[in-house]
Structure 1
Amino acid sequence: MNVVIVGLGEMGASLACDLRKNPQIKLIGVDRDVASLAYARKTSLVDQTSQDLAEVATQADLIILATPVESIEQMIEQLGQLDLKTTVIITDAGSTKRAIMAQAQQFLLPKGITFIGGHAMAGSHLAGVQAAQMGMYRHAPYFLMPADEQAASRVDNLKVILAPTGANFITMSVDEHDDLMAVVSDNPHVIAFALMNSSVNDLGKSQDFGQYVAGGFKDMTRIAASDPQLWSDILLSNQGAILNNLTSFRQALDQFQRAIEDSDEETLLQLISRAQISRQNLLIKRENND
C-alpha cells in the first residue's frame, strides 16, 4: 500500500512515525522544503520523497494532506485534475473544515473520488519535521468527516490504515467540528495572543518582565509561541464560528469587569465557582476517556 503524506511538519511527520509500524505500507513524503525531505530520507522516516505532489499522487492508495488549510484547498483542486486510482482515499489534517469540504465537493466528489476530512487534537506549538514524535496521536480525539455516502462507507478502511496511531476516532459533521474547534482550540489561541500583546503594551518588552512571571501566566500564554502563518490561516478559515464565540467570551469578560467595578463579591464568587466546577468536571471527563 502506498501512502502519500503531503507536508512533513510536526503533524505529517508524526503520522509517518506511527505508520512506519506497518511494514506493508510504503511511505512517500511530499514537501516543498528540500531540507525537510533530506532529513526524512536520512532518518528513514519515509521510503521516498518528492517536491511534486502530481509526481507521486497517481500511485497512491491513501493521500494525507497535512499542510496549512489554504494549501490543502489548493491541493484538492490539483488532485481533482489528476488521473488517480479509483480506490484512492484522500484525507487531510486541517483544523477547520468548511472551506476544505467545499473544495472536495467541487473538485473530487463529481469524479467519484473518496474524501474524508480529518483532524486530530494532537501536536504542540513546535513546527517542522524534527518535531515529529512517535505516539503523538495516541488516545487523541481524531475527528473524521466523510464528504458523502461513498466516503462514509470507507471510514472503517481509513481507520484500519491509521490504526497504528492509537488515536480515538470520532465521526462528526463539519459544522459540529468547526464550532467545537472555535471554542476549544481557535479562540484559546486568540486569547493567548491577545494576552501576550496586552502584557507587552502594559509592561514593556517581555524579556524585561519575563523573570517575574509565574506558572499561571506561562500556562496561559504557552500557545502564543505558535506559528504565526499557520494560525493566521486557521483563524481566517473559521471566521463565523470564531466570531460567534468571541462575542460570548467578551460577554463573560464584561461580567467580570462589572463585578470588579461594583466591588460585587457575591457575583465574583458565583462566576469563579461556576468556572471552577466546570474545570474540575472537564478534567474528570478527560481522565475517564483515556
Structure 2
Amino acid sequence: MKTIVIQGLGEMGGSLAAALYHQHHIIGVDQNTDIINEACAKQIIHEGTTNLSAVAGKADVIILATPVSVILSTIKTLGQLVLKDDVIITDAGSTKQSIFEQAKITFDQQYITFIGGHAMAGTQNSGLDAVNPTLYQGVPYFLIPIDKQSKQNVPELKQILQSIGANFTEIDTQQHDDLMAMISDVPHIAAFALVNAAVKQLGDAQVFGQYVAGGFKDTTRIAGSNAKVWTDILLSNQDSIVDSLHVYTEALKEIEIALTNGNRLELEALLSRAQDSRQHLGEKA
C-alpha cells in the first residue's frame, strides 16, 4: 500500500482518489475544507488538508489534478520541500509543454521523478458530485516521461495506478499536445462557438432552445463545461490549438464553398469522407 497525495478533488482528482481508495492510503488536498470533509465522509479520501506542504513529505506518489496554471505554481512549491527519495510526481493536466518546461527547471539536478499524465476521461460536469470511481476504466491514459530516469519509473506508476482500469500509453510531449489540440480542444471551441453563433442569430437560448433536437444538443453538450477551467486549458496549449483551428476552419470553408456553388458532388464527397472516418473511430490502426 502506497501513500498517495492528490491535489484537487474535482471530477478528475476525486475519481482517481475513489478508484484508488481501497488499494492505497489517499490524502486529499483542496483549498475548500467543506470539500475535504465531504470527500472523507463519502470514503473518497482517507484524510485531507488545505496545505499540500504539510503532507507532501509523506507521499510515495503526488498527483496534481488541478488546472494547468495551478499545477505550474505547485511544481515550484514542491521544488522547495523535502520529499521522499523515491517519490513520483505526476499530473492530470490536459497539456504538457508548459508543465514540462517548469518541471525541468524546478527539478533539475534533483532526485524527484516527474511523469506527465493525462487520461481521456471526464464529462462536462465538475466537483465532488461528478466523482465516479469507474471513470477511468477502459479509457486511454497517457504517461509522458520527462527524462530517462522517469521513463524507468513508468512501470512502477502503472502498477500503482492499475486498479483504476485505464489503458496506459506512453507518448512524447509535443505529440500529446498536438493530439489534444485537435481531438479535445478544438471540439470544445466548436461547441462554445456554435452556441454563441446560435444566440447571435436566433436570440436568447430561452427563445430557440425549446425547439432544439438531438443534433444541436449532442454537438453542444460540452459547451456546458466550466468556462474558467477551459480558458486555462486553451491558453496553456495556445500554439497547437491555433494550428489545429486553421485546419478546422479550412475544412469548414470547403463545405461553405461547395454550398455556395451548389456543388452537390463536392458536398457529398466531403460529407462521405467524414462519415467514413467517423465510423472507424475507436478502431486501432
| Deviation sequence 1:193-241 (CA, Å, 0-9, x none) | 0000000001111111111111010010000000011100000000111
Aligned to 1:56: 55
Aligned to 1:116: 115
Aligned to 2:261: 262
Aligned to 2:231: 232
Hey, what's the Cα distance between the residues in 1 that align with 2:110 and 2:79?
A: 7
Query: Quick check: 1:201 aligned with 2:189?
Result: no
Aligned to 2:85: 86
Query: Quick check: 1:167 aligned with 2:163?
Result: no
Aligned to 1:11: 12
Partner of 1:186: helix, strand, or coil? helix
| Deviation sequence 1:57-114 (CA, Å, 0-9, x none) | 0111100000000000000010011011110000000000000011110002321210
Q: Which runs of 4+ in 1 moved over 2 A?
A: none
Question: Once the 2 structures are TM-superposed, how far is the Cα of residue 35 of structure 1 from its aligned partner?
Answer: 1.4
Hey, what's the Cα distance between the residues in 1 that align with 2:203 and 2:33?
A: 39
Q: Give the 5 Å matches for 1:131-150.
A: 131-150=130-149
Partner of 2:281: helix, strand, or coil? helix
Partner of 2:18: helix, strand, or coil? helix
Tell me the TM-score normalised to structure 1 length: 0.96
| Deviation sequence 1:129-155 (CA, Å, 0-9, x none) | 121011100010000001111100000
Contact 2:27 2:46 in 1 (8 A): yes
Partner of 1:91: helix, strand, or coil? strand
Hey, what's the Cα distance between the residues in 2 that align with 1:224 and 1:109?
A: 39
Aligned to 1:250: 249
Contact 1:178 1:241 in 2 (8 A): yes
Partner of 2:149: helix, strand, or coil? helix
What letter is aligned with 1:89? I
Question: Once the 2 structures are TM-superposed, how far is the Cα of residue 278 of structure 1 from its aligned partner?
Answer: 0.6
Hey, what's the Cα distance between the residues in 2 that align with 1:131 and 1:230?
A: 15
Hey, what's the Cα distance between the residues in 1 that align with 2:111 and 2:87?
A: 10
Q: Give the 5 Å matches for 1:215-230.
A: 215-230=214-229
Question: Once the 2 structures are TM-superposed, how far is the Cα of residue 20 of structure 1 from its aligned partner?
Answer: 1.3
Tell me the TM-score normalised to structure 2 length: 0.98
Question: Once the 2 structures are TM-superposed, how far is the Cα of residue 15 of structure 1 from its aligned partner?
Answer: 0.4
Aligned to 1:277: 276
Question: Once the 2 structures are TM-superposed, how far is the Cα of residue 282 of structure 1 from its aligned partner?
Answer: 1.3
What letter is aligned with 1:67? T
Partner of 1:111: helix, strand, or coil? coil
Hey, what's the Cα distance between the residues in 2 that align with 1:108 and 1:79?
A: 9
Hey, what's the Cα distance between the residues in 2 that align with 1:110 and 1:247?
A: 40
Aligned to 1:184: 183
Contact 1:21 1:164 in 2 (8 A): no
Contact 2:21 2:43 in 1 (8 A): no
What letter is aligned with 2:191? A
Aligned residue pairs total 284
Unaligned runs of 5+ in 2: none
Question: Once the 2 structures are TM-superposed, how far is the Cα of residue 126 of structure 1 from its aligned partner?
Answer: 0.5
| Deviation sequence 1:164-183 (CA, Å, 0-9, x none) | 10000000000010000001
Hey, what's the Cα distance between the residues in 2 that align with 1:33 and 1:21?
A: 24
Contact 2:63 2:92 in 1 (8 A): yes
Query: Quick check: 1:20 aligned with 2:35?
Result: no
Hey, what's the Cα distance between the residues in 2 that align with 1:263 and 1:230?
A: 41
Contact 2:4 2:62 in 1 (8 A): yes
What letter is aligned with 1:281? H
Matched residues, percent identical? Answer: 49
Question: Once the 2 structures are TM-superposed, how far is the Cα of residue 21 of structure 1 from its aligned partner?
Answer: 2.8
Partner of 1:282: helix, strand, or coil? coil
Partner of 2:4: helix, strand, or coil? strand
Unaligned runs of 5+ in 1: none
Question: Once the 2 structures are TM-superposed, how far is the Cα of residue 48 of structure 1 from its aligned partner?
Answer: 1.0
